[in-house]
Amino acid sequence: MAEPRSGVGGPLLAGAEAPGGELRLRMEDTVRRGQAVPIVALLVGSSPIAEELRILRAKLRVIGQQRVLRCVGLVSAAGGEGKTTVSMGLATSLTQDGGRVLLIEADLRRPAIERYLGLAPVEGLGEYLQGQGDEVVVRRIDPHGFQLLSAGRGPAPAPELLGSERMRHLLEALRRRFDFVVVDCPPLGPVADSVILQDLLDAFLFVVRARHSPIETITKALSHLKADRIAGVVLNDNHEILTSYYSYSYRRYHDRY
């Protein structure tokens, strides 16, 4: 398990004013002890999944030469597509370029990233959007390098807050602080939360798990978004790419919603 410790000198002014006061980031280092979390181990090194994530990173860089792509949301049609896993993997891969990368957990109804990473829950995005202070806790996930703003530990706030001015100010401040922001968004099928976010993000990557959702479900989900909001589609859990061992491990620790 991991335990957080205070790091890099305490609260830092993010450079933007949020409604009700200045937005402040409290940066913390996360010290991991014991064995690595299995799902994270698959995202680094020389595994087939890690190699595919490096290809995704390279393609994202190419698309970024044609349009601004510094704040990208990952979204899916339904639960179980693996968007949270891909979000963590992309954030991990992007740090290998030496940039400052932040992963935001915007799936406020069913957060999972802290559990996946073996971290104790802390106040996060949900508490900030509800006006509970003007400080957000950002944790550096070592040894993987990216930083995390989790969903929080309280009851999920009203989904409309994802499209609020408070959310807009937060993303503006984080764009200035980080080179790349990855946003793990709620699935499009069950709820409309990600639709609210689309005008605040540069674009979405749409995650589709092979042999999972019917084409009708995917088509309906895509119809909720503006045509220019989709920068690309990520085909996930493709047996032609994954070996049987990694495919089994990946499904075992798969994003369950």
In order along its 257 residues, the chain shows pLDDT tens digits of 333 333 333 333 444 444 445 678 888 876 554 445 556 666 666 667 778 888 888 888 888 888 888 999 999 988 888 899 899 989 988 988 788 999 999 999 889 999 888 888 899 999 999 988 788 889 998 767 799 999 998 888 888 899 999 999 999 999 999 999 999 999 987 667 889 999 999 999 999 887 767 788 888 888 888 888 898 888 876 555 444 334 434 444 444 43
Cis? peptide before 157, omega within 30° of 0: no
Domains of the chain plus CATH, in order, are: 37-252 (3.40.50.300)
The number of angstroms, rounded, from the C-alpha of 138 to the middle of its chain's C-alpha atoms is: 13
Distance CA 223, CA 251 (A): 28
Backbone conformation region of residue 218, classed left if phi is above 0, alpha if psi is from -120 to 50, else beta: alpha
Fill in the DSSP letter of residue 213: S
What crossing angle do the helices spanning 244-252 and 48-64 adopt, rounded to 10°? 80
How far CA 90 is from CA of 96, 134, 211, 216, in Å, comes to: 10, 28, 22, 27
Give dist(CA 196, CA 177) in Å, integer: 23
